[in-house]
Structures are given as C-alpha cells and as structure tokens.
Amino acid sequence: MIELFAVPPAEDERFLAAWAADHTSSHTLHRALRDDARHRYVSLPDGPGSGVLLVNAIATLVLLLTLSANMFVTLKTVTTPTLMCAATAATILWSVRVAKREGLVPLRA
C-alpha cells in the first residue's frame, strides 16, 4: 500500500519518530525534494506484492503438474518474466493514477 503524508517542515522530527515506531521494515519512506510539496513524505512497499508472488507460484505449480519437464522449462522461462512485466505495468499505471489524483503531476490539457 502506498501512503502519502502531508507533514509541515517544522514537524519532521516528530513525524519521523512516529513513522519509525508504527511501520514495518517492509516499507521505505521517501521525502520530497521541496518543502512546499503537498505530500512531503510517501511510504512505498519494498519488492513485488505478495499477490504477484502468489500468482507466480500458482502458475508454476499448474505448469509443473500438467507438462513434461522440457515443456515446463520452456514455458516457465516465458511466464515468469511475463507476469513480472504485467505486475510492473500495473504498478506504474496505478502510481500515475494516484499521483494525478493527489496533484503530484499535472493532468493533460
């Protein structure tokens, strides 16, 4: 889950301490370069989402149980990068949508 935080510059230390106490190490906190940004902090999850890994595991199991070893290796070589590319594209599209909604990037005229 992507979290956006509107924190005034004077509240940085208090916010950082509270965030560190409340969040797991599976998220990384990023700060805006400018102090006048609407949301100066954003928390992003690390690595691919568990949903992507689950879909990859299920696809692997189905291929392994239904195909010969040679065919499995051939198809697995194709399906894993395809799933990861699809997940990456979905993440980028979702991120752009959220950024536009939050006013972080301009809408097209």
pLDDT of residue 48: 61
pTM for the predicted model, two decimal places: 0.45
Instruction: Provide the phi-psi class of 47: left if phi over 0, else alpha when psi is between -120 and 50, else beta.
Output: left
pLDDT of residue 108: 62
pLDDT of residue 14: 93
Per residue in 10-54, pLDDT (tens digit) is 999 999 999 888 876 677 888 887 788 888 888 877 666 667 778
DSSP notation for 47-88 = SS-HHHHHHHHHHHHHHHHHS-HHHHHHHHHHHHHHHHHHHH
Per residue in 45-88, pLDDT (tens digit) is 766 666 777 877 888 888 888 989 899 888 888 888 888 888 88
pLDDT at 101 over 80: no
pLDDT at 90 over 80: yes
pLDDT at 109 over 60: no
- Cβ contact 36:46 at 8 Å: no
pLDDT of residue 80: 83
Query: Bridge partners of 43?
Result: 3, 29
Number of H helices, E strands in the chain: 3, 3
Beta-carbon contacts of residue 11 (< 8 Å; ≥ 6 apart)? none
Structure tokens at 4: 């956006």
